[in-house]
Amino acid sequence: MNDLVPSTSPRDMTWARRKQALARVWRELRHDRAGFVSLLVLLGFGLVALSAPLIADRSLLLAAAGRNNPDLASPSAQFLLGTDDIGRDVLAQLVWGSRVSLFIGIFATVVAVVIGSVVGLVAGYVKGKVATVLLAIDEFFLVVPFLPLAIVLAVILGRSPVTLAIVIGITSWAGSARLVRAQVLTLSERAYVERARALGAGTWQIIFRHVLPGVTPLIIANATLIVPGAILTESTLSFLGFGDRLSPSWGKLLDGAQSSGSITLNAWWYYLPPGLCIITVVLAFTLFGRALERIFDPRLAGR
Amino acid sequence: MTATESLLNVSNVHVAYPARRRGGKSARAVDGVDLEIHPGEIVALVGESGCGKTTLARAILGLQETSEGSIAFGGELLPTSASGKKAFRRRAQIVFQDPTASLNPRHSVYEIVAEGLRIHGLGENEHQVVKNALQQCGLHPAERYMLKYPHELSGGQRQRVVIAGAMVLKPQLLVADEPVSSLDASVRGEILALLQRLARDENMAVLVVTHDLGLPWNIADRIAVMYLGRIVEIGTTEELMANPKHPYTQALLSVVLEHLGMPQQILVGEMPDPTEISSGCRFHPRCPLVQSGEAQRLGIADRCTHEDPLLQISGSQQSVACHAVGV
Amino acid sequence: MPAVRGVDLEIAPGETLGLAGESGCGKSTLAMALLRLVPPSTQITGSIKLAGQDILTMKPGQLRAARWAQASVVFQGAQHVLNPVRRIGRQIDEAIEAHGSASASRAGELLDLVGLGARRGDDYPHELSGGQKQRALIAMALACDPLLLIADEPTTALDVMVQAQILQLLDNIKRERGLSMLFITHDLSVLSHTADRVAVMYAGRIIEVGAGDALLRNSLHPYSKALTASFPVIGDPSSRHQPRGLAGDPPDPNNLPSGCPFHPRCTVATDECQSVDVKLRHVSDDEKRSVACVLVGKQ
């Protein structure tokens, strides 16, 4: 235990403590091989997505770009991953597609987590009639098959990346709400919450001082596990033709690959890369999320 | 006791939990209690688990709704508005049984003790107030403890932190619910000595809820014995312990004071559920006077089974609820 | 991590030995070790002789026979020990069956013996009160007629009156069957009534042992003195408004002080105490008292 100088103010000490906690998380993550490798993989994908303009020019995505290129050409020095059915560079589409897939995946998760956390928090702490109504709504979203719902919403709300992310977020929040509510219920029964009430704390003071800090690690770990689902949903929607009409995405590539018969033609460079990318990113997020859960778990138990 | 105005006046308070099932009986956890506490005095509320002492303590602090009766603090009824309740919290505080559970493991000692100040917006000089509270509760040097976290403290130290957290608000009444039961025996004395010292130094009334009969002998001015939701006997510690008048109190003391060679009166069975309170005197099914036939001899047997005895004065400061007293 | 550091104990037939100490002193570990009920990674050295046989060198078969038929345990925390989904009577039967002859009436007899009544055998644990569950545990412990009953904090969570009932029950059983008992507790006031001899443990060692009443009325080791003072004698003016306790905290078993482990908290510690850790030694014949303190028994 480090001996802090007595003149350290309590606020400095709180920050020092937070830094220490983060350092601990980092340390434990380094030891968790699966989690650490996954993090590196994700950072790699993120890097590629961010540097898309440096790797391939945007113009390569236009339908016109493929006019002078051979259709479904196998990989060569010029086209590292060959061309698609109308001659466009597959690698360019893959790299720009990663932007869309990752963006939608992460933004959708943010939407889902925000809705889920607020609903879970209110239902868990306030209880009563409000909670009953919220839980009923939550149940609806849990039970309804997400894909048909997503398709319907996509058609209604429009199909830009942002609206798609919102749509996917709407179909994904229900599970988080349940988790958050369960944790909030547990925390609000704790003796130190009763002590805060006895001291005169109001609802919001208790939520911010005691409940939220206890729920946040859970929300973070849960969020990283929602991302893979969101990415898969986006890919599925795009594959089915309900995704964004304009931008490329991995799902769209798969759709293109399938409808152009590249599978029977053995144009593996068209269907394999997007599929592998989806699987890799989903796996990486899942493993990373699990690692975070493991690291946060002893803290959830109250240390 | 001098004729000081009472700090706390509990009058005919009932706390009844509604029946779980339709047609079931309600649980009368507190079934008609009158209690007065004066500034600076230490009162022990003694009884076995299930007798309603914790429920009563929580009702006094407004943490539990009452179904009947009134509670007056400093001459005024307990406030019902949110802001009134919040203001009341500064005047009456509670220390719970398990100090470990009462402390948020993520907060430092400083944050825990300062919590009360921050809730009520008493932030100026916060550092000094926290420091004084920690030192007053025996945690020297305060600076060293401020930076610690609950898991780095022993049970006794944790309880001191909890008490310090209550003391920053300078309450007039401190309710301590089994303050030393979860602590090691050797630490018990120190915490009790602390409570006693705080009561004297701050002229603060302390209501200690406990099942341990030795505790009141150590620090309490008065003892109230509860059975099945009622106070069956109340008096100064000396009087009650030297001369218990209610058969329940007598039985309890006989079991604890074995060193005096008194014959032990071990009651049969256990205290019934608060849903099963019998008619007449609630103690009569287990009362040694009834079972030995003494009640019959005294001619009160009928009253014991049909009439609910009220607390009546007997002795200079003692009150007893028993038909056999004063016969 | 040494939980118990050199303990010598003897219990005569029909005798009750009270083992007193606070949390972390090693008393529960010692109790579990007596029947080798400790985790496999625990090292037990020394010898534990039960009715002449060494428990530590027994083969597994012999050990199983010894457990419950020669010595049995009444654990603390009754609610966590009883299986919540099986009836009480069945659980007692299981204990009997595990050791040979099963007899349906036996469970009923035992329940009668402990004051619960044979009919309660059909109840589930949650239908019993705390005191009743404790009685059920005692019935289970007596199922195979043991010679020694190890009771680990049997009355700790119970109310004063129920506690008195259980103690009376144990006393009756003890006298009827000539049972020996090791009664472990942190509550000294309980021992004054039940124990023939009392041993006080601190930091894994026994620091005082002697005849029950005498030790509790007049302890010699500074720790025992402080511990007995923590339980006030009601009616004694010296404890009125004078709660007495011990400063500091029980030591960390991983980080024991040098010399006598009690010296940091001891009010009469001398320089010698920081380096010398004296063993239990005989100080009085008539009270059969032994104390582990440099300052006691010097004459």
- Concatenate the DSSP letters of all residues of B199-211 into one string: HHHHT-EEEEEES
Closest residue, chain A, to B82 (C-alpha): A202
Query: What integer is the mean pLDDT of A58-80?
Result: 79
Task: Say yes or no for a CB contact (<8 Å) between B186 and C227.
Answer: yes
Q: If we measure between CA atoms, which residue out of C160, C159, C173 comes closest to residue C115?
A: C173
Whether residue A71 is predicted with pLDDT greater than 90 in this model: the reply is no
Please tell me if residue B139 touches chain C, with a CB cutoff of 8 Å: no
DSSP B130-149: HHHHHHHTT-SSHHHHHT--
Contacts of C23 in chain B (CB under 8 A): 184
Residue B20 to residue C50: CA distance in whole angstroms: 52
pLDDT tens digits for B233-278?
999 999 998 889 999 999 999 888 765 666 788 888 888 888 888 8
Q: Where are the beta strands (DSSP E) in chain C?
A: 16-20, 49-50, 53-54, 71-74, 148-152, 180-185, 197-202, 205-211, 281-284, 289-291
Per-residue confidence (pLDDT) for residue B163, from 0 to 100: 96
Both tokens of residue C163?
């506690």
Per-residue confidence (pLDDT) for residue B43, from 0 to 100: 96
pLDDT tens digits for A187-198?
988 999 999 999
Residue A242 to residue C66: CA distance in whole angstroms: 73
The phi, psi pair for A241, rounded to 5°, reads 90, 10
User: How far apart are the CA of C246 and the nearest CA of chain B, in angstroms?
Assistant: 5
Per-residue confidence (pLDDT) for residue C193, from 0 to 100: 76
Closest residue, chain B, to A190 (C-alpha): B101
Higher pLDDT, B58 or C38: B58
Buried b (16+ CB within 10 A) or exposed e, A26-42: eebbeebeebbebbebb
Per-residue confidence (pLDDT) for residue A284, from 0 to 100: 92
Please tell me if residue C127 touches chain B, with a CB cutoff of 8 Å: no
CB pairs under 8 A between A and B: 73
In chain C, what percentage of residues exceed pLDDT 70?
Answer: 95
Helix (H, G, I), strand (E, B) or coil at B316: coil
Residue A81 to residue A91: CA distance in whole angstroms: 5
Please tell me if residue C189 touches chain B, with a CB cutoff of 8 Å: yes
Among candidates A17, A195, A201 on the partner chain, residue whose Cβ is nearest the Cβ of B96 = A195
Query: What integer is the mean pLDDT of A280-289?
Result: 90
Please tell me if residue B49 touches chain C, with a CB cutoff of 8 Å: yes
Task: Say yes or no for a CB contact (<8 Å) between B108 and A213.
Answer: no
Both tokens of residue A212?
């939220």
Listed range (A54-58, A114-118, C270-274) with the worst mean pLDDT: A54-58
Task: Say yes or no for a CB contact (<8 Å) between C164 and B266.
Answer: yes
Q: Using CB atoms, list chains with 3+ pairs below 8 Å to chain B.
A: A, C
Mutate one of B64, B91, B104 to test the A interface: name it (highest A CB count within 10 A): B104
Contacts of A190 in chain B (CB under 8 A): 101, 104
Which residue segments constitute the domains of chain A, with CATH numbers given?
Answer: 54-286 (1.10.3720.10)
pLDDT tens digits for B295-315?
888 888 888 888 888 888 887
Query: What integer is the mean pLDDT of A98-104?
Result: 88
Residues 249-268 of B with CB under 8 A from A: none
Residue A255 to residue A251: CA distance in whole angstroms: 6
Contacts 24+ apart (CB under 8 A), C209-218: C209/C280, C209/C289, C209/C290, C210/C284, C210/C287, C210/C288, C210/C289, C210/C290, C211/C287, C211/C288, C211/C289, C212/C18, C214/C287, C214/C289, C215/C287, C215/C289, C216/C188, C216/C191, C216/C192
Listed range (B37-51, B208-222, B270-284) with the worst mean pLDDT: B270-284
Residues 140-159 of B with CB under 8 A from A: 143-144, 146-147, 151-152
Whether residue A295 is predicted with pLDDT greater than 90 in this model: the reply is no
* Helices A212-239 and A90-125, axial angle in degrees (round to 10): 140
Q: How confident is the model at residue B2 (pLDDT cuts 50, 70, 90)?
A: very low
User: How far apart are the CA of A9 and the nearest CA of chain B, in angstroms?
Assistant: 9
Tell me the pLDDT of chain C averaged across its residues.
84
Q: Using CB atoms, list chains with 3+ pairs below 8 Å to chain A.
A: B
User: How far apart are the CA of B139 and the nearest CA of chain C, in angstroms?
Assistant: 11
Closest residue, chain B, to C168 (C-alpha): B266
Question: Would you say B246 and B239 are in contact if contact means Cβ atoms under 8 Å apart?
Answer: no
Q: If we measure between CA atoms, which residue out of B122, B205, B140, B136 comes closest to residue B167?
A: B136
Q: Please give the C-alpha separations between residue B51 and each of A258, B28, B229, B231, B318, in angstroms, as whole numbers.
A: 75, 10, 5, 9, 20
Please tell me if residue B154 touches chain C, with a CB cutoff of 8 Å: yes
Q: Please give the C-alpha separations between residue B108 and each of B96, B149, C40, in angstroms, as whole numbers.
A: 19, 5, 38
Tell me the pLDDT of chain A averaged across its residues.
85
* Helices B155-167 and B126-136, axial angle in degrees (round to 10): 130
Both tokens of residue C297?
């028994």
Both tokens of residue C72?
């049995």
Residues 260-289 of B with CB under 8 A from C: 260, 264, 266-267, 270-271
Q: Please give the C-alpha separations between residue B39 and each of B10, B74, B304, B327, in angstroms, as whole numbers.
A: 14, 9, 36, 34
Whether residue C113 is predicted with pLDDT greater than 60 in this model: the reply is yes
User: How far apart are the CA of B219 and the nearest CA of chain C, in angstroms?
Assistant: 5
Question: Would you say C262 and C292 are in contact if contact means Cβ atoms under 8 Å apart?
Answer: no
Q: If we measure between CA atoms, which residue out of B167, B212, B224 comes closest to residue C156?
A: B212
Query: What integer is the mean pLDDT of C138-150?
Result: 87
Question: Would you say B31 and B52 are in contact if contact means Cβ atoms under 8 Å apart?
Answer: yes
Q: Is the peptide bond before C261 cis (omega within 30 degrees of 0)?
A: no
C-alpha gyration radius of chain A: 23
Whether residue C102 is predicted with pLDDT greater than 80 in this model: the reply is no
C-alpha gyration radius of chain B: 21
Task: Say yes or no for a CB contact (<8 Å) between C232 and B219.
Answer: no
pLDDT tens digits for C191-221?
887 899 999 999 888 999 998 888 888 889 9
Report the largest interatomic distance among the alpha carbons of chain A, rounded to a whole angstrom: 77
DSSP B74-127: TTEEPP-SHHHHHHHHTTEEEE-S-HHHHS-TTS-HHHHHHHHHHHTT--TTHH
- Beta-bridge partner residues of B10: B35, B71
Q: Which of A6-15, A65-74, C31-40 has the highest mean pLDDT?
A: C31-40
Helix (H, G, I), strand (E, B) or coil at B177: strand
Residue with tokens 């071990």: B266
Buried b (16+ CB within 10 A) or exposed e, C124-147: ebeebbbbbbbbbbbbbbbbbebb
Q: Do chains A and B touch (3 or more CB pairs under 8 A)?
A: yes
pLDDT tens digits for C153-166?
888 878 888 888 98
Helix (H, G, I), strand (E, B) or coil at B52: coil
Query: What is the distance, to the nearest Å, from the Cα of residue B86 to the centroid of all Cα atoms in its chain?
Result: 22
Q: Do chains A and C touch (3 or more CB pairs under 8 A)?
A: no
Helix (H, G, I), strand (E, B) or coil at C152: strand
pLDDT tens digits for C26-78?
888 888 888 888 888 888 888 888 877 888 888 888 887 778 778 888 887 66
| ipTM at complex level | 0.87
Task: Say yes or no for a CB contact (<8 Å) between B96 and A191.
Answer: yes
Closest residue, chain A, to B152 (C-alpha): A1
Whether residue B316 is predicted with pLDDT greater than 80 in this model: the reply is no
Task: Say yes or no for a CB contact (<8 Å) between C160 and B255.
Answer: yes
Among candidates A4, A14, A201 on the partner chain, residue whose Cβ is nearest the Cβ of B119 = A201
pLDDT tens digits for C221-232?
999 999 988 888
Q: Which of A209-213, A228-232, B196-200 has the highest mean pLDDT?
A: B196-200
H or E stretch covering A37: helix A33-50
Per-residue confidence (pLDDT) for residue B246, from 0 to 100: 93
- Beta-bridge partner residues of C50: C53
Residue C206 to residue C215: CA distance in whole angstroms: 13
Per-residue confidence (pLDDT) for residue B260, from 0 to 100: 61
The phi, psi pair for C193, rounded to 5°, reads -90, -30
Task: Say yes or no for a CB contact (<8 Å) between C187 and B185.
Answer: yes
Q: Please give the C-alpha separations between residue C67 and each of C8, C58, C109, in angstroms, as whole numbers.
A: 21, 11, 21
Among candidates C188, C234, C250 on the partner chain, residue whose Cβ is nearest the Cβ of B217 = C234
Closest residue, chain B, to A204 (C-alpha): B119
Per-residue confidence (pLDDT) for residue B3, from 0 to 100: 44
pLDDT tens digits for B193-217?
999 999 999 999 999 999 988 899 9
Strand order from edge to edge, sheet including B27-37? B27-37, B8-17, B68-73, B76-77
Contacts of A4 in chain B (CB under 8 A): 147
Residue with tokens 């004065």: B313
Q: Which residues are CB-neighbours of C55 under 8 A, at least 6 positions away?
A: C34, C35, C36, C48, C49, C63, C66
Residue B193 to residue B42: CA distance in whole angstroms: 12
Residue B187 to residue C264: CA distance in whole angstroms: 15
Region of B141 on the Ramachandran plot (φ > 0 left; ψ -120 to 50 alpha; else beta)? beta
Closest residue, chain B, to C129 (C-alpha): B270
Reduced to 3 DSSP states, what percent helix, strand and coil does chain A have, rounded to the nearest 5? 75, 0, 20
Listed range (A13-17, A71-75, B106-110, C256-260) with the worst mean pLDDT: A13-17
Q: How confident is the model at residue A301 (pLDDT cuts 50, 70, 90)?
A: very low
Whether residue C100 is predicted with pLDDT greater than 70 in this model: the reply is no
Contacts of B106 in chain A (CB under 8 A): 213-214, 303
Per-residue confidence (pLDDT) for residue B168, from 0 to 100: 94
Q: Which residues are CB-neighbours of A33 under 8 A, at least 6 positions away?
A: none
Whether residue B51 is predicted with pLDDT greater than 70 in this model: the reply is yes
User: How far apart are the CA of A49 and the nearest CA of chain B, in angstroms?
Assistant: 38
User: How far apart are the CA of B249 and the nearest CA of chain A, in angstroms?
Assistant: 32
Q: If we measure between CA atoms, which residue out of B248, B229, B171 comes closest to residue B203?
A: B171
Q: Please give the C-alpha separations between residue C145 and each of A233, C58, C75, C138, in angstroms, as whole numbers.
A: 67, 20, 17, 11
Residue B140 to residue C25: CA distance in whole angstroms: 26
Task: Say yes or no for a CB contact (<8 Å) between B144 and A6.
Answer: yes
pLDDT tens digits for A17-49?
778 878 888 888 888 888 899 999 999 999 988
Residue C200 to residue C185: CA distance in whole angstroms: 10
Region of B280 on the Ramachandran plot (φ > 0 left; ψ -120 to 50 alpha; else beta)? left
Closest residue, chain A, to B97 (C-alpha): A191
Residues 11-30 of B with CB under 8 A from A: none
